[in-house]
A and B are shown apart, each in its own frame.
Chain A
Amino acid sequence: MTTDSLQADILAQITAAATPEALEAVRVAVMGKSGSVTALLKTLGGMAPEQRQVEGPRLNGLREAVAAALAARKTALETAALDARLAAERQDMTLPVAPALVGSVHPVSQVMDELAEIFADLGFAVATGPEIEDDWHNFSALNSPESHPARAMHDTFYMEQSPPGTRMLLRTHTSPVQIRTMMTQAPPIRIIAPGRVYRSDSDATHTPMFHQIEGLVIDKGTTLAQLRWTLETFIKAFFEVDDVTLRFRPSYFPFTEPSVEVDVGYSSKTGKPAGAGEADKWLEVLGSGMVHPRVIAACGLDPEIYQGFAFGTGVDRLAMLKYGMTDLRAFFDADLRWLKHHGFSAFDVPTLSGGVGA
């Protein structure tokens, strides 16, 4: 048999080997210790140099071709085996997986975080105070003496438990935090005070508990003009609009003088606050004014030196205006369907660089 025909014969055997075992048998028969190609290669040692020069490359060529064919066939068989195994392992990738647990942050909390972020940039710290207050902090220090008609405006919840000489109540506004701040902090003061407040009132737009945010600036020479700028800046930042128009109307709060009711120009078209050109109606949003000198004096500061402004607004109402909720009562019902619809992702942390709207 010639080398060429031997090679053809062996390659045919390799190709015909259908399993790894059959291929191994061919390998042993050809390349094993007593294999046919091994035997031929052994003959090279007994050849004359001239003959070896001719036969050497030929037989080595044969060996390499056979080895390559064996390796290729081995790979092919392994690939086929793997393919077969994987085919058998098929799973239905349309089957459902366990749903990710997705919780939510209440819109009131989200809005409070947004407010804290905006006002932090303006240099306002966040202050807090107790919800069960005494009537001095809630009323008297705020220039509402007992039997003042302004007290009746507030529909106050009173506590049955009161230490002698005072009357405990649920704070009707966040303004007592102003008093607590002025009594413990030296001016200049810039704070916001968000929190729960309570009034004995209940219908679609009033709940006996709701949230307010109070702002207070006390310094030398602070004016209504700066209040206007502060509120414009805040409204623009909070509602993420480029322009806003405010209307200052005279009003009355016992603890401010002058007192200002602030209307925000609103566009029905965009559903957002808007500049003078776009706004087509006014929304009553904020109460504010210059802190009454008697309030400043009640906190132990000299009203001849210090003056400032205060403002307050409903956090729930801000949330409703910004995010489109319609029924205040739903805020406090803890209906999971509502919370998941109106709530915010834990990762929507308001930041100045990322924006304060989610």
Chain B
Amino acid sequence: MKFTLSWLKEHLDTQAGVAEVSETLTRIGLEVDGIDDPSARLAAFTIAHVLSAERHPQADKLQVLRVDTGAGEPVQVVCGAPNARAGMKGVFGAPGTFVPGSGITLKVAAIRGVESSGMMCSMRELELSDEHDGIIALPDDAPVGARYIDWAGLADPVFDVAITPNRQDCMGVRGIARDLAAAGLGRLKPLAEAYRVAAFETPRTGPGPAIHTDDPAGCPAFHACTVSGVSNGPSHPWLQAKLRAIGQKPISALVDITNFVMFDLGRPLHVYDMARLEGGLVARKGRAGEAVQALNGKTYTVDETMTVIADNAHVHDIGGIMGGMASGCSATTTDVLIECAYFDPESIARTGQKLMLTSDARSRFERGVDPAFLDDGLAVATHLVRELCGGTASEITRAGTAPEAAKTVTYRPSRVLGLAGIDVAEDEQADILTRLGFTVARGDTWRVTVPSWRRDVGVAGASERWDGEADLVEEVVRIHGLDRVIAAPLPRAEGVARPTATPAQKQERRLRRALAARGADEAISWSFLPPREAAAFGGAAWTLANPISTDMAAMRPSLLPGLLSAAKRNADRGQGSVRLFELGQRYLGDGEHSTAALVLAGEARARGWQTGSAAMFDAYDAKAEALAALAALGAPVDRLSVAAPADGWWHPGRAGRLVLGKVALADFGLVHPATLAAFDLKGPVAAVELYLDALPPARRKARAAYAPPALQALSRDFAFVVDDTVAADTLVRAVAQADKALITGVRLFDRFAGAAIGVGKVSLAIEVTLQPTTATLTDAEIEAVSARIIAAAAKVGGTLRG
């Protein structure tokens, strides 16, 4: 919402300057986004008189002007404007002046061989309008040498204020003035005084226009009158200047009047050229197939949910949002119909969203304009039309009834202290509410009547005793000074702060730091993916209806695609080794699943003088990380078994699934080359995905008392030949079971395949640790254990290697 300081002062009688107004606006919740003071930007431009204009000797389209700037001798200016002529007055910029519209600083320069000392400016060069067909031509009485902004009344700071969606009443200058007056910044002038009239008394002759509403829900009230015999040229300069100052383009007197009333009073209006209408106007629902070309030039198809204004033949207005081109007012308009209607906010919002059409009128109607201001709004508009365009006004036709606006709130002034923690005297509270337009009936509890323009305060048909009370507390504190609330400590529980993290949160924190400690970098990638990347991981169960781009449309079914894309980007940036992990949600059909993933791409180990050539990541690197991660999470790692990968994006022979009982806790291994190809990644790439919500809940286990064994442990090595289809884990587990009391460790330390042991065979060497508990083992006892180990290995097909 933009307005100038002088505009504000037409409603607000105040001596306050820019700084005080700005500070007060922000203090009461009308946040100042910016203040633009054109006088700073345009201060250097002065009014000058063109004494003579000669053809440029070297260029047909240029003229050489002698210009009296009012300061010393006339200067020579080369000018390309077609309207530059001797005797005219215009706006001059001297060398050294920065021209805002063109972004250059003027200097003395030769233009086609003729020296030019300054510039005569166009409106666009001064950023006053888009006009650039010629230089600014000023009336003959403009004083040479004076500052242009002073003469043109442009030395007027423009405020840009952010209006929160609840404050429709401040989407007009008068509403802002009312708030400032309530905050003690001055006196709100009565409406007539602001418009410099004694009263809005328009002589009216003839019956009002034929209008009615067939849609009392969408358009409960439709008021209108006509003014005939108007002349609709460009509006008066004061009106044009006002609209321009706030960035609006003047169009014609009638249209400018409706815009002015909207920005001044927050009251949108519409004007129709009577000559373009067939019969009377009706507010009704749209009909299938109906379309209207709106004033923005685009054609909109309306439907049965939308309120429109139509004559006997056509739709002329998307009710409360935008008028139609066909019945718009033009220079030839002589008879005009002025519409002042009340549209239902929810209906306007739905229609606007459906049509994806925004307008200044919509943003006001959908927030709820003052339902008690229809007569006044129409009176002001009619007054302005007659004053600026002439003509004869008709009687007013009032179709329908605007909704009842008055709401009453039961209010306890003690709630200011109770909710806001600040004490405001009851007299001051009553005074604040009264200045804001509320009617206060004091008593044990107060009865406060809400003014018609404050849709945001109170609830129509309030059902709860407390409805609206907090709203009034806000009004009082807002004007009294929210920043005057003094901090008061929150009560503190006795003793040292108690732990608050849940077991799942603790697990995540441990996992994050364990992975980082092992050398991986934590990434955060988008929760949404290109659908084809989601498809490579089983497809998305959730997709966005309105993604920001099609590449961000599918909710990730896995954390791996985001990390693979990240690995690819890093590889493209020349990173030879990538270890990236992420913690986050997977979005599956049955809900969200807390997950962690790790991608290992490129070199596991760089080439080195000790280790020789580089080694790429392999499936065992992924397994090591998976086990370390699960150990950090407190999973019983020694009870896990390794199953084949279940999903197609894993390498079928070089990946595995870590299973506890029947529950999959993690997948690890190499990513399938076809999947890598979908990400344009060169392999091999190893990865891990950990399913955090599948983990057994971490328990804090009480540790039993422990004394290290007094007897020395000893170890024995065995090598068994097995078929190479036998999983090594099968052999290790079998050996471990051979004597549960004595065997405390089994470690596979060598694997050998070769001609010496036969095709299809493999030799697995294991080291078994024996821990005696009561007495040192005798040779016979060691022999017996060895025999049991060999027998256990035999059961899974292992023969002792000779």
Residue A74 interfacial (CB < 8 Å): no
Residue B514 interfacial (CB < 8 Å): yes
Interface centre among B512, B583, B584 (most CB of A within 10 A): B512
Quick check: A250 and B482 within 8 Å, CB to CB? Answer: yes
Given the interface pairs A202-B548, A332-B524, the reply to whether A161 lies near B543 with Cβ below 8 Å is: yes
CB distance from B206 to the nearest CB of A (A): 40
Quick check: A223 and B353 within 8 Å, CB to CB? Answer: no
Residue A40 interfacial (CB < 8 Å): no
Residue B359 interfacial (CB < 8 Å): no
Quick check: A126 and B422 within 8 Å, CB to CB? Answer: no
Residue B419 interfacial (CB < 8 Å): yes
CB distance from A133 to the nearest CB of B (A): 10
CB distance from A70 to the nearest CB of B (A): 40
Quick check: A230 and B490 within 8 Å, CB to CB? Answer: yes
Given the interface pairs A250-B478, A339-B521, the reply to whether A225 lies near B422 with Cβ below 8 Å is: yes
Residue B770 interfacial (CB < 8 Å): no
**Nearest-neighbor residue (CB-CB) of B470 within chain A:** A257
Which of chain B's residues have a CB closer than 8 A to the CB of A170? 527, 544
CA of A223 to CA of B422 in the docked complex: distance in angstroms?
9
In the A-B complex, the 8 residue pairs with the smallest Cβ-Cβ separation, listed nearest first, are: A101-B519, A225-B421, A250-B29, A223-B421, A252-B164, A334-B566, A258-B474, A334-B523
Quick check: A229 and B366 within 8 Å, CB to CB? Answer: no
CA of A293 to CA of B464 in the docked complex: distance in angstroms?
10
List 24 A-B residue pairs with CB atoms under 8 Å apart, sorted by A's residue number.
Answer: A109-B583, A116-B501, A119-B500, A126-B500, A126-B502, A132-B592, A157-B546, A159-B555, A168-B542, A196-B584, A198-B527, A209-B526, A223-B488, A224-B421, A224-B422, A224-B482, A229-B487, A257-B474, A290-B420, A293-B467, A307-B418, A337-B573, A339-B522, A346-B514
Residue A153 interfacial (CB < 8 Å): yes
Which of chain B's residues have a CB closer than 8 A to the CB of A200? 546, 548
Which of chain B's residues have a CB closer than 8 A to the CB of A343? 516, 521-522
Quick check: B490 and A122 within 8 Å, CB to CB? Answer: yes
Residue A251 interfacial (CB < 8 Å): yes
CB distance from A195 to the nearest CB of B (A): 9
Indicate which residue in A168, A196, A224, A336 contacts B521 across the interface (CB closer than 8 Å).
Answer: A336
Residue A260 interfacial (CB < 8 Å): yes
Which of chain A's residues have a CB closer than 8 A to the CB of B578? 336
- A103-B522, A104-B522, A223-B419 given; name 19 further pairs at CB < 8 Å: A103-B520, A125-B502, A130-B591, A149-B367, A157-B548, A159-B544, A161-B541, A200-B548, A221-B418, A224-B419, A224-B422, A224-B477, A230-B490, A252-B167, A258-B420, A260-B482, A290-B470, A339-B523, A347-B513
Quick check: A225 and B573 within 8 Å, CB to CB? Answer: no
Quick check: A103 and B517 within 8 Å, CB to CB? Answer: yes
Contact residues of A between 321 and 343, Cβ < 8 Å to B? 331-337, 339-340, 343
Given the interface pairs A109-B512, A224-B422, the reply to whether A249 lies near B493 with Cβ below 8 Å is: no
CB distance from A314 to the nearest CB of B (A): 14
Residue A41 interfacial (CB < 8 Å): no
**Nearest-neighbor residue (CB-CB) of B591 within chain A:** A130
CA of A249 to CA of B487 in the docked complex: distance in angstroms?
15
State the A residues within 8 Å of B (CB).
95-96, 98, 100-106, 108-109, 113, 116, 119-126, 130-132, 146-150, 152-153, 157-161, 168, 170, 196, 198, 200, 202, 208-209, 217, 221-226, 228-230, 232, 247-252, 257-261, 290, 292-293, 297, 303-304, 307, 331-337, 339-340, 343, 345-347, 349, 352
Which of chain B's residues have a CB closer than 8 A to the CB of A333? 566, 569
Which of chain A's residues have a CB closer than 8 A to the CB of B563? 334
Indicate which residue in A103, A123, A352 contacts B498 across the interface (CB closer than 8 Å).
Answer: A123
Residue B402 interfacial (CB < 8 Å): no
CA of A344 to CA of B513 in the docked complex: distance in angstroms?
10
Which of chain A's residues have a CB closer than 8 A to the CB of B544? 157-160, 170
Which of chain A's residues have a CB closer than 8 A to the CB of B608? 96, 98
Which of chain B's residues have a CB closer than 8 A to the CB of A346? 512-517
CB distance from B455 to the nearest CB of A (A): 11
CA of A146 to CA of B514 in the docked complex: distance in angstroms?
45
Which of chain B's residues have a CB closer than 8 A to the CB of A337? 573
Quick check: A334 and B513 within 8 Å, CB to CB? Answer: no
CB distance from B797 to the nearest CB of A (A): 39
Indicate which residue in B490, B493, B592 contacts A130 across the interface (CB closer than 8 Å).
Answer: B592
Which of chain B's residues have a CB closer than 8 A to the CB of A222? 490
Report how many residues on chain B are interfacial, defined by Cβ distance under 8 Å. 100
CB distance from B27 to the nearest CB of A (A): 7
Which of chain B's residues have a CB closer than 8 A to the CB of A225? 420-422, 485-488
Residue B483 interfacial (CB < 8 Å): yes
**Nearest-neighbor residue (CB-CB) of B584 within chain A:** A196
CA of A259 to CA of B470 in the docked complex: distance in angstroms?
10
Which of chain B's residues have a CB closer than 8 A to the CB of A217? 490
Residue B747 interfacial (CB < 8 Å): no
Which of chain A's residues have a CB closer than 8 A to the CB of B482? 224, 248-250, 258, 260
CA of A98 to CA of B615 in the docked complex: distance in angstroms?
13
Residue B311 interfacial (CB < 8 Å): no
CB distance from B333 to the nearest CB of A (A): 34
| Complex interface bits, B489-529 against A, C-beta within 8 A gives 1, otherwise 0 | 11011000111111001000100111111111111111110
Which of chain A's residues have a CB closer than 8 A to the CB of B29? 249-252
Interface centre among A108, A150, A290, A334 (most CB of B within 10 A): A334
**Nearest-neighbor residue (CB-CB) of A222 within chain B:** B490
Given the interface pairs A225-B421, A230-B490, the reply to whether A249 lies near B26 with Cβ below 8 Å is: yes
Residue B545 interfacial (CB < 8 Å): yes
Given the interface pairs A126-B500, A258-B474, A297-B464, the reply to whether A226 lies near B488 with Cβ below 8 Å is: yes
Quick check: B501 and A160 within 8 Å, CB to CB? Answer: no
Interface centre among B349, B513, B566, B611 (most CB of A within 10 A): B513
Residue B165 interfacial (CB < 8 Å): yes
**Nearest-neighbor residue (CB-CB) of A195 within chain B:** B585
Quick check: B516 and A196 within 8 Å, CB to CB? Answer: no
Given the interface pairs A252-B164, A252-B166, A339-B521, the reply to whether A223 lies near B418 with Cβ below 8 Å is: yes
Which of chain B's residues have a CB closer than 8 A to the CB of A196? 527, 584-585
Indicate which residue in B346, B523, B527 contacts A147 across the interface (CB closer than 8 Å).
Answer: B346
| Complex interface bits, B457-469 against A, C-beta within 8 A gives 1, otherwise 0 | 0000000111101
Residue B160 interfacial (CB < 8 Å): no
Contact residues of B between 571 and 620, Cβ < 8 Å to A? 573, 575, 578-580, 583-585, 587, 591-592, 605, 608-611
Given the interface pairs A123-B498, A339-B521, the reply to whether A105 lies near B513 with Cβ below 8 Å is: yes
Residue B547 interfacial (CB < 8 Å): yes
Quick check: A336 and B575 within 8 Å, CB to CB? Answer: yes
Residue B431 interfacial (CB < 8 Å): no
Residue B570 interfacial (CB < 8 Å): yes
CB distance from A251 to the nearest CB of B (A): 6
Quick check: A105 and B522 within 8 Å, CB to CB? Answer: yes
Which of chain A's residues have a CB closer than 8 A to the CB of B492? 122-123
Given the interface pairs A105-B522, A160-B543, A249-B483, the reply to whether A258 lies near B470 with Cβ below 8 Å is: yes
Interface centre among B353, B467, B524 (most CB of A within 10 A): B524
Quick check: A259 and B474 within 8 Å, CB to CB? Answer: yes
Quick check: A209 and B498 within 8 Å, CB to CB? Answer: no
Residue B31 interfacial (CB < 8 Å): yes
Which of chain B's residues have a CB closer than 8 A to the CB of A126? 500-502, 505
Which of chain B's residues have a CB closer than 8 A to the CB of A293? 464, 466-467, 469-470
CB distance from B415 to the nearest CB of A (A): 10
Contact residues of B between 219 and 236, Cβ < 8 Å to A? none
Residue B682 interfacial (CB < 8 Å): no
CB distance from B778 to the nearest CB of A (A): 42
**Nearest-neighbor residue (CB-CB) of A210 within chain B:** B524
Residue B350 interfacial (CB < 8 Å): yes
Quick check: A258 and B527 within 8 Å, CB to CB? Answer: no
